Structure 1
Amino acid sequence: MFLMLTGVSFAQITVKSVKGLPFLSLRGERSFQSIDLTMDNLGDSVEVTIFVDGAPPLTVGVGRGNHDIEAYAPETAKAREARFRVSVGQQTLYKGQVSLQPVRKMTVYILPHSHNDIGYTEIQTNVERKQMNNLLTGIDYAEKTKSYPAGARFVWNLEGVYAADLFLNRMNDQQRKRFVEAVHDGGVALNGMYVNTLTGICGPEELLQLFHRGTEVASLCGTPVDAAMISDVPGYTWGTVTAMAQAGIKYFSVAPNYFDRIGDILVQCEDKPFYWIGPNGKDKVLVWIPYRGYALSHGMPEGLTRKFVSQYIAELDRKQFKYDISYIRWSGHGDNATPDMTICDFVKDWNTTYTWPRFIISSTSTAFKAFEDRYASEIPQEKGDWTGYWEDGTGSSAFETAENRATSARMSQGEALWVMKNLSGFPSDTDRDAWRNVILYSEHTWGADVSVTRPLSQKTMEQWIIKKSYATNADSLSRQLLSDALDQGSVAPGNSVDVFNTHSWSTSGVVLVPRELSSAGDLVKDAAGQVLTSQRLSTGELAFMVSEVPPFASRRYTISAGSSAPDATPALKVSDHSLENDQITVGVDPSTGNITSLKKMGVSNEFVDNDSTGGLNEYLFLQGSNLADIQHSGVAKITVKEQGPLVVALQVVSDAPGAANYVREYRLVKGADFVAIKDVLDKLPAELDPHPGDYPWANLHGKESLNVGFPFHVDQGQMRLEIPMGIMQPEKDQIPGSCKNWLEVGNWADVSNQDLGVTWVTLDAPLVEVGGITATLLGGQSNPNVWRKHIDPTQKLYSWALNNHWETNYRAYQDGIITFRYILRPHGAFDALSASTFAIDQSQPLIVAAASGDGVSQPRLRLSNQRVIVLSLRPSLDGKAWMVTLYNPGARDESTGLLWSGAVGAVHISNTGEGVLAPAGDQISVAGQGVVTVRVEKS
């Protein structure tokens, strides 16, 4: 389509180039395609006439200077050479041919929005004001352009529900009314995700809550929300599909950063729309990454132009883009940018001038629905985890990341208690605010743009204080929600405690009673007066064993002076270097303090790979990226911390690089088939940029990471990772564009063959490497070729506990006490249900509280099929119902009934919005790795 000319001069006019353009227009009743001629005139103004075969002559005035002249040729249905000549009067300046291709009848949708960075370039409070003002401006622009031709009216896409939430909470009644009306008439478009979230670190209910506020705002506006946007963030956990399906989201506009630490996500996925199939094989969402992600407009200060249109169509052709519907994001000029109404005049003028390509300003939903309506049968499918890249930065604030994980788990337990105790007056505002803070911590903007180059600057410190407060506030609110449920009811007489099981299966285990609740003594009896095995721990807590606390119920125990009777058959042993009960044995290396032996009674296998590593729970500290520089903890000092009869524990104290102090604890409980590990690190701060503002130094220097090694010995073992509402196998269950240098995990991983395996639970650290230490990419990384492309089968797992590898946004250093807890459970053949319930028991343990009222003697809810579990049990926010989230961890479809201890009303299949979709019936079907939300009306 492009022909470079040697240049012919007449009256100081030079024809520089001629090329066909991918534009069609009507001239009269005929369709013509455009030709671009570039001329230089060094002399006086003159009239030039352009003749093209089949087209009327075109005469234009050419003044001094450079000119782009648009000529026309009849529309062609196939590639051809068109003859043309350029004349001044009777004198021919040039004659030749230009290559013409058929013009694609392309419709390009434009999605205006502002990228929400909650912080980064400025403090979070300023961003809040900006985004509320942007919404007001967007409403104004939509109203001003309401009379524009179809497709040219301004539509303000709210990238997330965050700005709408702020607006509805802070603006006056008139402004709120304008917002609702703007959404209702299409001038403002809702997108269902709350903020641009690092989905890989979300727990199951947090991921569901990520879309909950969107359903509320949609209901307020009387407009369903079936689309979501995410910007900047590359990679998303597989459970996102499940969460979207529960919220009614069908369309997902994904627009990552276009250069930094994004792996090969754009190489693999840009302008390659596909249906992303959820873990259950049934849920799906249409996903599409547009050209240059969300930031296309950032590099176009001149706005949309004819030149851009030509280049964009050429780019689609280069990619062999096979569809005639496309879309771009338009996020203004910078992050948190103001709305840009100039696109409306561009589209109005363009669509008046040209018939193709055609531009339409729209919502995400409108664009994606148009595409799906036309191409649904041609859209490819991908099933698997789209493993995230930017979650690695959460390891730069490991303490707060662990705190937020614990909060998410505590919220689930607190909500369940309100239902179990059948309490009225559920504090829905507290619940909303707590989840909002949990989500804001998981939002991708961690800190200032100068967080690494100027880590001690006011800008960096102020933004980190606010970011940290999200985790701190969520923690406080979750504890309030829990205590408010526990404190209701008259205090029971005597020194008694209630132990609550907030799960849908019976649970046994050791309960730790704080010193202040157990000051009466060490003798524990159950309701029948039977004396239970108990032990006063070195921490001052009283430990006792409870057995088979029923689902969603409690049991009461009394504490009095005395101690438990001696165990006639002690099955618990501890020495300086080993722990043993009737289920497992644990051996600890006397020099390193690492676990060098893990065996299960009756199973002929050593679960520790000692051939090429230092054992399990090995401290691997790396400054920089050279694996040869890995440092280990020093010589271990091992002492017996707990000696039974219920709990035994070893304490391991070592020097450790990067730490002022490093203490490990290995704990084993009588009759338990697992060993609990607690690593407590007094972290020293990393080296900071010696010359604040020195980017080259900050990009590559002062970098550190802590990896904790867990090399398992399971012959031919397959590795599985739990993710929110799903299970994935590295490599096998990763779609193109996924990160493989590190992966995110929920509560557990498992390495198993057909006969045996080991489940590994992580309570605090969500990042893992598989097969080796592969998270060694420091600072800015724009080359897609440097990223790991394949994961071989492996039984080696590494917890990537903390790091400061980024050059911006995330923290440059962290210090103070940080705790990492892991649990190892050797087992027989792998069972997804067993792994899931075991891990949930660890992250949401039995709750002990001062006894009050009558307790919950009967299970508030039981499931008729124990292959299905309850992920969440909570009051509806309207106070009229109980909401039950069912999950099937297995691969096979299951059905279950809900068995309540008291009268309930109608039962319906529901969704994240807590609405009524369909009657549930006596048996509720739950697909393998599927989720079903149920609404149960109060009687």
Structure 2
Amino acid sequence: MSALTLAVLFAVVPILPTQDPESARETSLWTIGKRDGSGAEFALAPDRHSEFTRDGCFAVDRSDPARDWPYVQPGPSDAWAGGRSHTFTVAFGLVAAPTSAGTCRLVLDFVDTHEHQPPRVSLRLNDAEASLRLPAGGGDASIHGEPGKGRPHHAELAFPTAALRAGTNLLQITTAQGSWLLWDHLALTAPAGLAIAPVEGTVIASAQTSPVVHRVGGEPRRLVHASVLHFGAATHARIAVGDEGAIGFDLDTGLAQVDVPTRELDAPTTLPLAVTIGEREVARTAFTMRPARQLTIYLLPHSHTDIGYTELQTRIEQKQVDNLLAGMAAARRTAEYPDGARFVWNVEVLWAAELFLERMPAAQRGEFFAAVKAGQVSLQGMYLNELSGLCRPEELLRLFRTATTISAVTGVPIDSAMISDVPGHTWGMVTAMAQAGIRYLSTAPNYIDRIGDTLVQWENRPFWWLSPSGTERVLVWIPKLGYALSHAIRTLTPRFVDDYVAELDRSDYPYEIAYLRWSGHGDNAVPDPSICDFVRQWNADHAWPRFVIASTSTAFRALEERHGEQLPEVRGEWSPYWEDGAGSSASETAKNRASAERLTQAEALWAMLDPGQFPVREFEAAWRDVLLYSEHTWGAWCSVSDPNAPATREQWDQKQAYAAQADLQSRRLLARVLQQPRAVAFGGAPGAIDVHNTTGWPRSEVVLLSSGISDAGDMVSDVDGRPVPSQRLHGGELAVLVEDLAPFSTRRLLLARGPAHAPKAARVVANGDGIDNGLLRALVDVRSGGIVELRATGIDGNLIDTASGHALGEYLYLVGDDLAQLQSNDIVLLSIDDGGPLVATLRVESQAPGCHSLVREIRLAAGQRHLELSNTVDKQRLVARSYTRRSGKEAIHFAFPFAVPGGRMLLDLPIGAVRPESDLIPGSCRNWLTAGRFADVANAEFGVTWVTLDAPLVEVGALSATLLNSQTDPKAWRSAIEPTQRLFSWVMNNHWHTNYRAFQEGPVTFRYAVLPHRGDDTAEASRFAIGLSQPLLADLAGASPPIDVPLLSLSSPDVIVLGLKPSDDHRAWIVRLYGASGRDADTTLAWRNADTKVWLSDTSEQRRTPADGPIRVPAWGIVTLRAE
């Protein structure tokens, strides 16, 4: 029956008080159970679900609910019930068929459904079909005997009386997806005049051909799964397909399920199926049998790596080392098994392999190398299961760097990667994988929670994901149930294989290669070599499908070789979902972002000042801690339900330590390269300061010198005696204006006692509620403390959209998810911290809900065209009885509504850029997005670049981050982002129900900048944002004169240097060029040493091909160079 017809036959109606079924010309045909919210009258009630063995089959006027209708109907996610769909059947007779058109109602009442995986239910009344997705339930207490703790649900479905027939009628209710439901009551009403008749005789309820091909005596054979309903005395019967030999089976009152053998066919054929008792045929039907697909299913064993969650992180380290040992042992034990049945251990993340090589003795390391060469151990190219949207560009590249270093040691290339649990990945990950030689990505997200419609869009739908530049691609493939199939079904069984292949057939899966993950029983699980025996026996007994235990690379290569040209190409951002949890530890998230930027600067500074002494191991350790903080496991499973539990505190202490260690190490590495032997004096003058530009373009900006290095005085000059503008600020720092500092170069300044030099440009002035430097003027709203007016020279009008109801930088606080309860701060106190002439700072203090205090600083410098905002939230711990209730959920946002008519928004990514909606692929998160460094809102004439230094989460157009706790319904998520010039920085939340933090407290600063501009230049926006993230560095001068000639400069403004570092072998510089303008561009490189030779390279840092002349850099793409 067509989908259009079915939509007319059945429709879920609003929940209304049910009419009396005996009234209004309706009659009750039948009722099963009592509508009392308990289900106590049903079989196995109230808590014996573990004894479930048979699906419900109820014959009206014959059956007993306490015997024939279980209180629970399992779903395919319930391993305890076989991990498959279950069909409950109601059989009822009618004296006569309806004689006139009318409507019947099926009334369904449920005690509860599974909390995280409520089922989708398919219903079939004779030839009419319908589908019903049930809402999430109240938890597991109801299935364990406490129905009062369930979340009841009522539904009614309407259909025409034409669906009914004289004689026996069948209603079949199937849990097609998800987990269990608990029955309370079901009933069928019909127009008056229809009468129930006894259910008699024998009926073939269904006949479905198994998609599996058996080997029987060397011949291919199929099975027909027949469901036979019998209402009468027990007897013996026979059943046969066409003229094939019949098989006998016993019939008792109720449902009998029989597998009927038949031969394989080479074309679709309609065949008869008949049941006989003695010589009399008692039931007949016809079914269509199609040839079975010749399918190969690759099975990928691995252990999902959660660094924490179930146990302390240090224990997980040893677990994964032990898992690698066990995987190698299983591979050795099965080495003589037939091809396809030998165990292969996929090391999900290289962190585990790195730990193994660090901790194991030489003998076991040798065994490891041998196993990798033999294909018994397959290394995957991602270092950790990362929240990629949090990564800075070099951090994202480092995520795959270990793949190149460890493959150099093993001699076996790594061309595949796994990531588990995490839904969605930042677009630049494709570029980062390609830079490391990785072609295949097995992504297997959590299949339950907070994943939007990821699985709806992409489960079993492989595709080529194109990089932002369009010049690279990786093959992406999500298997059934993500990484957790083995968690759900526990063991492979013939019934599972049958159901799985049938599911592929129903979904019109077009390929002859499929794959499944097998991650054992739980997270960080030990290897499960039992699959080898199953596969060995299965392949011996069956022609199709064939199983192959394999590596990710083997499976994906098979798909590429067979179907690669058929696979669709997809281009866009797969905006991730779980990065929102980083807002539960806003201070550490900001700290880790800064550490990554600092390490990038430190690498550049070592390349400039002392490349031969570059401390490779120390940088690796620092980057490791940065990556470990961005890894998806934040804390204990009980972090929200029991935030004071020892497990919660211990795991958070370790997670927090990753960010703290990265911060400490990055500062030490930066200080170490700066701490060259110091000059007591330079040219006879004390107070010499060196200022370093670690970026690839000239810089003009205000540098803040700490009081410790600027105590020589406030008067600043260059080495030639030319005055340099400066100003001592209220915090003790000395602000110094450095102009036109060449790329990758150093300038020396001299500090002395005396009055500071004033800037040449118009001075900046702050008054009671405004700030102005002649180029930019901002006005603060004395009520909200936000900026309500921003005007720039050369651009007409106010750049703030006050009609939005919000001011720029306005504080917004929400408890729960009802936006009607949104709060802002109390009355503000305005004061001037710095009055110019070089720097002016307005201070805005207020009390604010959720905080001990809120302090916002607005800063503007003379000659600058951008405004800087610094918002310090002294967070007050939210006190709640339960952090899973709405009253225990909170969020803090800052508003940024821009007035750029017709402006299009562009969000910076770690590598690439995305226009919300138009560049988002299906399955993307739209409720929030992660911004790399900036957003740009521009029309053809002007725009605004907005920079966020500390907070990565943004809401585009509306406050849409209001999804609390577990979210299992794909329809609950935002489906589209309309064109807008408004965004919100979502800085803090505790919206999760597990893993992330339940509360946070203490001061956290969130820094922003706003740059109005003419035209639309994304490369300039990138330079501006990177400049703020990687400011000019200043320290006491070294003993040697500074080198003010650029180490490297580029000819094209469309290309920027994203990273510069000494090579790990200390023989070259590694340069990463980035097409930041969004246009393909050619650039030449000018080196300080004209004899520098350049090769194209990649993450491996090895020579690839010589790069003579201009370098072509694709739009949004990366080119890595090795220069010697």
Q: TM-score, normalization: structure 1? A: 0.94
Deviations 1:220-258 (A, max 9, x none): 111111111111111111111111111111111111111
Q: Give the AA of the match of 2:1054.
A: R
Unaligned runs of 5+ in 2: 1-86, 92-167, 170-201
Deviation at 1:315, TM superposition (A): 1.4
In 2: Cα distance, 1:592 partner to 1:31 partner? 77
- Matched residue SS, 1:210: helix
Secondary structure at the aligned position of 1:736 is classed as coil
Query: Does residue 112 in structure 1 map to residue 301 in structure 2?
Result: yes
Q: Do structure 1's residue 838 and structure 2's residue 1027 form an aligned pair? A: no
**Residue-by-residue CA offset, 1:614-646 (whole Å, 9 max, x unaligned):** 310000001111111111111111111101121
Counterpart CA distance in 2 for 1:492 and 1:835 is 40
Partner residue, 1:878: 1065
Does residue 420 of structure 2 align to residue 231 of structure 1? Answer: yes
Alpha-carbon RMSD across the aligned residues, in angstroms, is 2.8
Give CA-to-partner distance per residue, 1:37-94, whole Å, 9 cap, x none: 67999xxxx999875556577799999x999775531211333344566789999998
Could you tell me how far 1:588 is from its partner in structure 2?
1.1
Q: 1:99 Cα deviation (Å)?
A: 4.3
* Contact 1:731-1:790 within 8 A present in 2 as well: yes
Match of 1:899 in 2: 1086
Amino acid at match of 1:620: L
Equivalent of residue 1106 in structure 2, options 919, 922, 925: 919
Match of 1:716 in 2: 902
For 2:385, the equivalent position in structure 1 comes to: 196
Q: 2:555 aligns with which of 367, 392, 411?
A: 367
Quick check: 1:390 aligned with 2:581?
no
Q: Write the letter of the residue equivalent to 1:371.
A: L
Q: 2:1013 pairs with 827, 839, 846, which one?
A: 827
Q: Which runs of 5+ in 1 are unaligned?
A: 8-12, 691-696
Q: Once the two structures are superposed, what CA deviation does each residue of 1:653-696 show, in whole Å capped at 9, x if it has no partner?
A: 10111110111100010100001000111100122445xxxxxx
CA contact (8 A) 1:3 1:17 kept: no
Cα distance in 2 between the residues matched to 1:393 and 1:602: 41
User: Residue in 2 aligned with 1:35?
Assistant: 224
Alpha carbons of 1:352 and 1:50: their partners in 2 closer, same or farther (altered >3 Å)? Answer: farther
Match of residue 354 from structure 1: 542
| Distance in 2 between residues matched to 1:569 and 1:338, nearest whole Å | 68
Q: Secondary structure at the match of 1:701?
A: helix
Counterpart Cα distance in 1 of 2:971 and 2:204? 42
Given the superposition, is the C-alpha separation of residues 3 and 89 from structure 1 closer, same or farther in structure 2, using an over 3 Å criterion? farther
Equivalent-residue separation in structure 1 for 2:891 and 2:461 (angstroms): 35
Partner of 1:693: none
Contact persistence 2:687–2:752 (CA under 8 A) = yes
**SS of 2:884's equivalent?**
helix
Q: 1:96 to 1:641 in 2, by over 3 A?
A: closer
Q: Kindly tell me: are residues 58 and 799 of structure 1, through their superposed partners in 2, closer, same or farther at Cα, counting changes over 3 Å?
A: same
Match of 1:659 in 2: 851
- Give the corresponding residue for 1:559: 751
Q: Which residue of 2 aligns with 1:627?
A: 819
Confirm whether residue 868 of structure 1 aligns to residue 1049 of structure 2. no
Q: State, as a whole percentage, how many aligned pairs show the same letter.
A: 46
TM-score by length of 2: 0.79
Q: Of the candidates 961, 984, 987, which is equivalent to residue 801 of structure 1? A: 987
Q: Which residue of 1 aligns with 2:209?
A: 20
Q: Which residue of 1 aligns with 2:835?
A: 643
Which position in structure 2 is the counterpart of 1:445?
633
Match of 1:329 among 506, 513, 517: 517
Question: Residue 716 of structure 2 corresponds to which residue in structure 1?
Answer: 524
Q: Confirm or deny: 8 A CA contact 1:3 1:98 kept in the other structure.
A: no
Q: Indicate the SS of the match to 1:789.
A: coil
CA contact (8 A) 2:763 2:838 kept: no
Aligned residues: 924
Corresponding position of 2:975? 789
What is the aligned partner in structure 2 of residue 289 from structure 1?
478
Q: Which moved more, 1:672-681 or 1:166-175?
A: 166-175
- Contact conserved, 1:113 with 1:157, CA < 8 A, in 2? yes
Paired residue type of 1:346 = F
Deviates more, 1:746-755 or 1:870-879: 870-879
Aligned to 2:790: 598
Kindly provide the amino acid, as one letter, of the partner of residue 309 in structure 1. V
CA contact (8 A) 1:804 1:812 kept: yes
Which residue of the other structure, out of 764, 781, 785, is the alignment partner of 1:589? 781
Distance 1:566 1:122, change over 3 A: closer
In the TM superposition, what is the alpha-carbon distance from 1:906 to its structure 2 partner?
3.8
* SS of structure 1 residue aligned to 2:708: helix
Matches within 5 A, 1:137-536: 137-301=326-490, 303-491=491-679, 493=681, 494-536=686-728
- Residue 778 of structure 1 corresponds to 964
Q: Is the 8 A contact 2:768 2:830 kept in 1?
A: yes
* Structure number with larger C-alpha Rg: 2
1:360 counterpart letter in structure 2: V
1:858 Cα shift? 1.3
State whether residues 307 and 313 of structure 2, in contact with CA within 8 Å, keep that contact through their aligned partners in structure 1.
yes
How far apart are the structure 2 equivalents of 1:857 and 1:537? Answer: 28
The code of the aligned residue for 2:892 comes to L
Conserved? CA contact 1:3–1:19, under 8 Å:
no
Q: How many angstroms does 1:775 deviate by?
A: 0.5
Aligned residue for 1:919, secondary structure, equals coil
Per-residue deviation at 1:701? 3.4
CA gap 1:898/1:920 in 2 versus in 1, 3 angstroms: same
CA contact (8 A) 1:298 1:333 kept: yes
SS in 1 for 2:873: strand
Mapping for residues 673-822 of structure 1, pairs under 5 Å: 673-690=865-882, 698-822=884-1008
Aligned equivalents of 2:759, 2:1112: Cα separation in 1: 46
1:578 matched to 2:770: yes
Letter in structure 2 aligned against 1:851: A
Q: Check whether the contact 2:843–2:858 (CA below 8 A) recurs between aligned residues.
A: yes
Taking a change above 3 Å as real, the CA distance of residues 47 and 666 of structure 1, as seen in their structure-2 partners, is: same
Give the secondary-structure state (helix, strand or coil) at the position aligned to 1:879: coil
User: What is the CA–CA distance in structure 2 between the aligned matches of 1:582 and 1:709, rounded to whole Å?
Assistant: 26
1:837-856 to structure 2, matched below 5 A, reads: 837-852=1023-1038, 853-856=1040-1043
**SS of corresponding position for 2:624:** helix
Check conservation: 2:1019, 2:1053, Cα contact below 8 A. no
Task: For CA contacts below 8 A with separation 6 or more, give which structure has more relative contact order.
Answer: 1
| Distance (Å, rounded) in 1 between the aligned partners of 2:212 and 2:332 | 30
Whether the 8 Å contact between 1:3 and 1:18 is mirrored in structure 2 is no
| 1:134 is aligned to 2:323 | yes
- 2:418 match: secondary structure: strand
1:227 partner amino acid: S
Counterpart residue identity of residue 141, structure 1:
A
AA matched with 1:582: G
The separation in 1 between residues aligned to 2:664 and 2:88, in whole angstroms, is: 68
Cα distance in 2 for partners of 1:814, 1:366 equals 45
- Residue identity opposite 1:737 in structure 2: G
* 1:10 paired residue number: none
Query: For residues 333 and 566 of structure 1, what CA distance do their matches in structure 2 show?
Result: 69
Distance 1:418 1:588 in 2: 43
Displacement after TM superposition at 1:318 (Å) = 2.4
Distance, in Å, in 1 between the alignment partners of 2:775 and 2:760 is: 18
Aligned counterparts of 1:3 and 1:396: Cα–Cα separation in 2: 44
Q: Distance in 2 between matches of 1:883 and 1:147?
A: 46
Q: CA deviation at 1:699?
A: 4.8
Confirm or deny: 8 A CA contact 1:54 1:74 kept in the other structure: no
- One-letter amino acid of the structure 2 residue matched with residue 858 of structure 1: V
**Contact 1:500/1:846 (8 A) holds in 2:** yes
